[in-house]
Each structure stands twice: as structure tokens, then as C-alpha cells.
Homo-oligomer: A and B are copies of this chain.
Amino acid sequence: MDKTSPFAIHPALAELCAHLARMMDLRAAAALLEWDQETYMPAGATAVRAEQLGTLHRLAHEWFIAERTGELLEAAAASVRELPPEHLAVRLVEVVREDYDKARRVPPELVAALARTESEAREAWKQARQENHYAVFAPYLERLLALNREKAEALGYEKHPYDALLDQYEPGMTTEAVRVLFEQLRAELVPLVRALADQPQPEAAFLHRYVEPERQWALNRMVLEAIGFDLQRGRLDASVHPFSTGIAIADVRLTTRIDPHDFASGLFATLHEAGHGLYEQGIDPVLERTPLADGASLGLHESQSRLWENLIGRSRPFWEYFYPRLREYFPGVLDDVPLDAFYRAINRVQPSLIRVEADEVTYNLHILLRFELEVALIEGNLSVQDLPAAWDEGMQRYLGLRPETLREGVLQDIHWSQGAFGYFPTYTLGNLMSAQLWRAIEQTVPDVAAFMQQGDFRPILTWLRTQIHRHGRAWKAPVLLEQATGHPLDAEPWLTYIRKKYQALYPAASVSLS
């Protein structure tokens, strides 16, 4: 260990770090194997890759929950007792202690049963989707719910079993707090979406003009570098579903999907993943190979992706800089499309059935529905059998649409088949955080729009690095958010942002926007 490391101050602490570094290396290897699986792995290796990944995850977990970790933790805790609470060594010990206690609360048999059932459920989900036949998936969902209720009991909670599940992805968040925020959103969004849907829609067919993949790759890479993503410490590749993954702080990989007839979809996927990637690249390098080298919560992670994708990437100042460049990269493609028309097209609001294709206004309604349903499922107030009808009814209520197949309805997302209950709300929490952070940025850098118009994203990235990125998991998301913005999580900044932006875009609908 480097002598200048904040963890080199005591042998007991250094020993804990060396012990944890092994787990981090195993996780990094698993992350690389997963990245490879989606990018370059030959198709014939699917089965053996699943075994290899199973081993790596199991070894990392066993290594962490071993008695030895507890012993090293205790010695390390004693060694940092005199340090101020904000010292990274104190933070490390505290975070690892909490992780350790949580991980040990779940019995190994339950961990194994979950892993087994999730893997079977994923296959059943694929088949049910394919055959539009819910009964194929239902028994697995039933079992996953039972196992997750068991897990919630094992993890413990104060008020609601769903709290324990939520806490896995968004530490410190409660069902009640989510309900309050989501109710605020519901009350404004449902009428807003209805009002916007009644408006004449801007032209957008030009977004589907043919653009050679090579030109798209070049544009995507140029934009990535322009906003500050370091391609010396990261990559951009192709995959069916875009994602980002940190193999290390010095090795952050993004993927996107390039469609010759939909350049915008690929570019916004890249910006979204770049937001995640900038977060991971921005973590203080002294945290490399420690459990602090990660985002503070899924919601905060998502706030970064949404900030770059929407608040920045779908803003007018951003395109004032990039639109002329995009036209250079795609010669002749958009010569007849003025910036204003382009800006309107990429900000079209239109209720739709598929979450991942939703615009920034309707998106959260998809999440509100999923939250409502999964809480009811966990509570036992909604049966697995009644779920499809509840889904369809909810879609009608929130977005005025009715799915015709399970694939565009209740079976559209992979999350439940992976046993991820409590995950969906983090998407909306991330959206809310992104607007709250953006407001703080605008207050600190009042001429941020002018910087963007000149293609200078350094003031934004510097602020994010200082306030959020560098800390990794050293502090929890609510602490970071309040330190950075002066306020606890609040729906108002996001609602204000949406109101203002879409009043300008759809002036005729403004009556309904208050």
C-alpha cells in the first residue's frame, strides 16, 4: 500500500484493506466477465460463463462474510478511534461494518436459494415473454416474492418490509418517504401528461434518417470526450442493452446501441451511460480497490446519468454547441433541420407503453406504477395472479394506454425476474436528485448555460466531482445531497424544471401547467 494512502496510517487498517482488496478484485473480475458477456463473448460460451460468474460472486461473498473480516474490522475500528469522523479511514470502517452486518444477517441458504431461483426465474421470464404466457413466469415470481419477504425479515426493518428491500439500493430511504414524494409527482404529472398529449406534436421523422454507424461512433466518442469522459481510463463499446460498469476507478466501461436509423437513441444512451461513467471515474483514486470505490446509492448514480442525458443533454445550450458539430459529423443529413426543430424533436412528450423508451416527463409515471405494484406484492395485498390486470389498469390510470401483449406490459422489465424488488424507485429518486443538483449548479455557476454554449463542461464536472463523485461511498446519498444542495431530497426542483421547460416547448398547453 502506498504510504500516502489514508489507510496506511495503521497496520490493522492496512491489513483490513488488503483483505478487502481481494474481494474487490474478485468483484472486478466478475464485472469484466459480465461486460465481456454483453460485448465480445462468443455465443457458445454462455453456459460456462454462467458457472464462472457464479464462482466469482460466491467466492467474493464467502470471503466477505467470513469471521476473519469481522476480526480485522474490530482491530481496524480500534486503530481509528482517535481519528476525526470525516477521516476516510473512519468512513471506511463504518461503511464496511454496516455492509458486513447486513451481509451476515442473510443466511447462506437464503442467498443460495435466491441465486438459484433468480436464475430459473430469468429463463421462465424470457419464455413467458416470448410466448406471451404469464403462467410460465407466475410460480417463479411467487417464489421470488416469498424469498424476498424472508430476506426483508432477515435484514430487519422498522416499519415496512419493503423498507429493508429498498435500503439495499437506496440506503436510508423508506417506503413512507418514497410514497410522499411519488404522491406529489402523481398529482402534477398525470394532468400534465394528459394536457401535453392533447397538443400537436412536433415533427421528428428526421431523427430516423440513415446515418452510417461509423459516423455515429465518431460523434459519440467526440461528445464523450468533450464532456470530460476519459477514454484513457475507460471505453465505449456496443451492446444490445446499453450499460456502464466500473472494473476499477481507472477502468470504467460504457456501452451503447448504434442503430443506423436512430442516431438520437444511441447518442442519448451514450450520454446516460456517460453520466454513470463520469461518476465512477471521478471517485478519489485513493479509494481504488476499497469498498468505498462505488456510487453512494443507485438513486444518486441515476441522478448523474439523468443529469447528463436530460438536464444537460436535452437542453438548448448543449445543442447550441453540439448541433453544428453533429451536422459536420453527419454531412448532409440534417441540413434542412434548424436547431429549434431538432431541439423540439428530442424533447417530444408522448405517453408510451415501454419504460425504457419513455421521455423525461412520462418516465416517472412508469416508475410510480411499478412502485405501487411491488409494494402491494410484498405486502401481500396484491396476488401474483392479479398482477397483470393491476398493471393494465395502472397504465390506463397513469398514461391512458393499455398494453396488448405481456412483452409491452407487465413482462417488459427484467428486474422482477432477477428478484430486484425495491430497485425501481431509485430511477425516479435519481431524476429528482438530478434536478436538485442542477439547481445548485446553476446557483454556484450562474453562467453555466454560456459555458455549455461554448462546449465547456468543466465547471459542471468540477462541481460534481467536488460535491459528489470523489466521495464514492464514504458518505450516504442523503448526506451528500444535503451537503451539495443545502436541502434534503425534494420533488419541487424537478417539477419546476419540467414545468418551465415544457411550458416553453408546448406553449398552448400552459393553462394546465401550474
Contacts and interface: CB of A to CB of B under 8 A. Distances in A.
Interface of A: 21-22, 25-26, 28-30, 32-33, 36, 40-45, 47-49, 51-52, 54-56, 59, 230-235, 237, 247-251, 288-289
Given A33-B32, A51-B21, A248 B289 contact: no
Nearest to A36: B32
A251 B44 contact: yes
A247 B59 CA distance: 19
A167 to B, nearest CB: 30
Contact of A42 (B47, B49, B251): B251
Contacts of A25: 51-52, 54-56
Contacts of A41: 251
A324 to B, nearest CB: 30
Contacts of A230: 44
A250 B22 contact: no
A43 B248 contact: no
Contact of A52 (B29, B49, B51, B55): B29
A466 B288 CA distance: 48
A30 B26 CA distance: 10
Contacts of A247: 45
A314 to B, nearest CB: 28
Contact of A48 (B51, B59, B250): B250
B250 A21 contact: no
Nearest to A39: B40
Contacts of A232: 42-44
A48 B251 contact: yes
A252 to B, nearest CB: 8
11 contacts: A26-B55, A26-B56, A29-B29, A29-B32, A36-B36, A42-B232, A42-B233, A43-B232, A45-B247, A45-B251, A47-B250
Contacts of A59: 22, 26, 59
Contacts of A43: 232
A54 B28 CA distance: 13
Nearest to A53: B25
Nearest to A235: B42
Nearest to A45: B251
Q: Which 3 A-B pairs have the closest CB atoms?
A: A45-B251, A25-B55, A44-B233
Q: Which of A43, A45, A55, A232 has the most chain B CB atoms closer than 10 A to its own CB?
A: A45
A282 to B, nearest CB: 14
Nearest to A48: B248
Contacts of A237: 40
A29 B403 CA distance: 42
Contacts of A49: 248, 251
